[in-house]
Amino acid sequence: MPVRVFTAALSGVEAFPVEVEVDLAFGLPGTTIVGLPDSTVRESRERIRAAIKNSGYEYPDRRITINLSPADVKKEGSGFDLPMAVGLLSATGVLPPEAVERHLFLGELALDGRLKATRGVLPVALAAGRFGFETLVVPRENGSEAALAPGIRVLAAEHLAQLVEYFHGRAEIPSVSPPSPSTHSYSEDLSDIVGQETARRALEIAAAGGHNLLLVGPPGAGKTMLARRLPTILPEMSWEEALETTRIYSVAGLLPPEHPLVLSRPFRSPHHTISEVGLIGGGAQLRPGEISLAHHGVLFLDELPEFNRRALEALREPLEEGRVTITRATGSVTFPARFLLVCAMNPCRCGYYGDPRRPCRCTPQEIRRYRSRLSGPLLDRIDLQLEVPAVDHRELAAERRGEPSEVVRRRVIRARKRQEERYGVPGKTNACLTVREVQEWCRPDREGRQLLEKAGDKLGLSARAYHRILRVARTIADLEEAESISVRHISEAIQYRSLDRALP
């Protein structure tokens, strides 16, 4: 009779159970793996053979068929090594099949029988309870990661021989306890920024309401410094947010064994030469892209007009939906992508348009051509757009420091709590409001409405930009702990639409 061993495979950031069936038959010796395995899974035949022999056990000299069920779903990754090896050892009587069936196995094998870390352990551990398993067996390096999942017993083994001895009761594999959360401190602080009061204010509004931000200024104005300090004023991640972000990093294989839990908000800053697949996700194995790795954190795109146009346009749907669905011939997966977008760009090709100290060498036509690399629909999705002028050297010499990140973060936290209480949804910010919710919660007073109508006529605002101004005004009011949106809130929100103004 075929022997059954259970493991799991990944679809995006979710796991589904896989039944590994091992059958030994008479005939020409050989090992066949069926069930839509990819090249990594097919190559596991040689790793398993060497690992079993080098662990002191005999590899069966029979015709071996290994089926990975469900057979119509593609299986990828090296995590199938361990369950297939356990299945072979059970089929030859080295392991008791009845004991093995009650465990879920996941891990890669070295040629000497050692268990090596594999990616995607946390999603499997989180789903193991739903599959009906109480124990998960993983490599030692993945033990702390798997222990983050509640309600599942985790055994972190070091060697295949150790696992055999454990099932015979001759060795112990201690259960792994979840790691203790540690506090995270940032090396940057908002007080490092000299001057740039308007940009600091925009940074605070972006953090309080979850608004996307575009900084336009000459080289050396401090755009990158500002962006890198945005995570320092964001609220700390909740346990649910940390677990969801960690799950994405687990699937991407980016979790260090010594720090298996992502506690600080991600800050991703890809180079402008990144491809569409690298930014959005996808590829041959449908991996998460930078927008998913920035989930619950900040995605910083420096030199925005230099990015691939198709990659930038692909951002539009994730910015609205908070997730990205990637469909290829091999399947369709959905990755979370709720991030705060911060972009930086020069005002023109030479970088010095509007700089009083250095003359701009660009013609008006060249400036329009440079800015036209950014489409209107993309700019509509960026709530805050402001010019960042160069800092005068006298301000730098004065060393006058602004508020530290901790002071600003307390105001941001109070504003976000007001939003959660208002909408009754944990973590919901003003930037996530639907059109109907904007009409309900973002009603300005009469003077504010008149000002907004005039601005819409003068700047030619789209309906999306119109609603985004109202969302920003709602956030400004929340920072002031004001119940209603007044004309000064609308006025400040309009100021953060600098690219809507006519070019020369």
Whole-prediction pTM: 0.91
pLDDT bin (cut points 50, 70, 90) of residue 498 is: confident
Q: Give the pLDDT band (50/70/90) at residue 182.
A: low
What pLDDT, on a 0 to 100 scale, did the predictor assign at position 151?
87
DSSP H or E stretch at residue 103: strand 103-105
Q: What percent of the chain has pLDDT over 70?
A: 96
Tell me the C-alpha distance between 6 and 18, whole Å: 6
Round to whole Å and give the CA distance between 83 and 244: 26
Is the confidence at residue 394, as pLDDT, over 70?
no
What is the phi/psi pair of residue 401, to 5°? -100, 150
pLDDT of residue 184: 66
pLDDT at 284: 78
pLDDT reading at 397 higher than 70: no
Q: How confident is the model at residue 406 (pLDDT cuts 50, 70, 90)?
A: very high
Question: Which pLDDT belongs to residue 474?
Answer: 96
Task: To the nearest 10°, report the CA torsion of 95, 99, 103, 106.
Answer: 0
Model confidence at 504: pLDDT above 50: no
Least confident of 270-274, 282-286, 323-327: 282-286
> Is residue 204's pLDDT more than 80?
yes
d(CA 347, CA 21): 62
The per-residue pLDDT for range 344-361, each reduced to its tens digit, is: 999 998 988 887 788 888
pLDDT level of residue 193 (50, 70, 90 thresholds): confident
Torsion angle, alpha carbons of 247, 206, 221, 300, to 10: 20
Quick check: 308 pLDDT over 90?
yes
DSSP 256-290: -TT--S--SPPEE---TT--HHHHHEETTTTEE-H
Give bridge partners of residue 153 from the DSSP assignment. 135
Q: What is the dihedral of CA 347, 350, 353, 355, to 10 degrees?
A: 110
Alpha helices in 404-498 (DSSP H): 405-423, 435-441, 446-459, 463-479, 487-495
Whether the CA torsion 35, 39, 270, 371 is positive or negative: it is negative
Q: Phi first, then psi: what are they for 422, rounded to 5°?
A: -70, -45
Confidence band of 503 (pLDDT split at 50, 70, 90): very low
**In the predicted structure, residue 179 carries a pLDDT above the cut 90:** no
Of 83-92, 195-204, 428-437, 493-502, the poorest mean pLDDT is in: 493-502
Q: Which tens digit of pLDDT belongs to each residue from 64-123?
A: 999 999 998 889 989 999 999 999 999 999 998 888 888 999 999 999 999 999 999 999
N-terminal to C-terminal alpha carbon distance within the chain: 80
Residue 34: is its pLDDT beyond 70?
A: yes
pLDDT at 292 exceeding the cut of 70 = yes
Q: Residue 12: which residues within 8 A CB-CB, separation 6 or more?
A: 251, 286, 333, 334, 335
Confidence check: pLDDT of 403 > 80? yes
pLDDT score of 192 more than 70: yes
Give 337's DSSP letter.
Answer: -
Tokens matching residue 356: 């009083």
Peptide bond into 70 cis (omega under 30): yes
Q: 213-217, 219-223, 265-269: which has the minimum mean pLDDT?
A: 219-223
Pairwise pLDDT comparison (102 vs 202), residue with the higher score: 202
Assign 331 a pLDDT band (cuts: 50, 70, 90).
confident
Over the stretch 439-470, which tens digit does the pLDDT of each residue have?
A: 999 999 999 999 998 888 888 888 888 899 99
Interaxial angle between packed helices 160-167 and 81-91, expressed in degrees from 0 to 180 and rounded to the nearest 10: 50
What pLDDT score does 335 carry?
Answer: 95
What is the predicted pLDDT for the residue at 442?
92
Give yes or no for a contact between 478 and 209, defined as CB atoms under 8 angstroms apart: yes
Residue-wise pLDDT for 407-417, tens only, equals 999 999 999 99
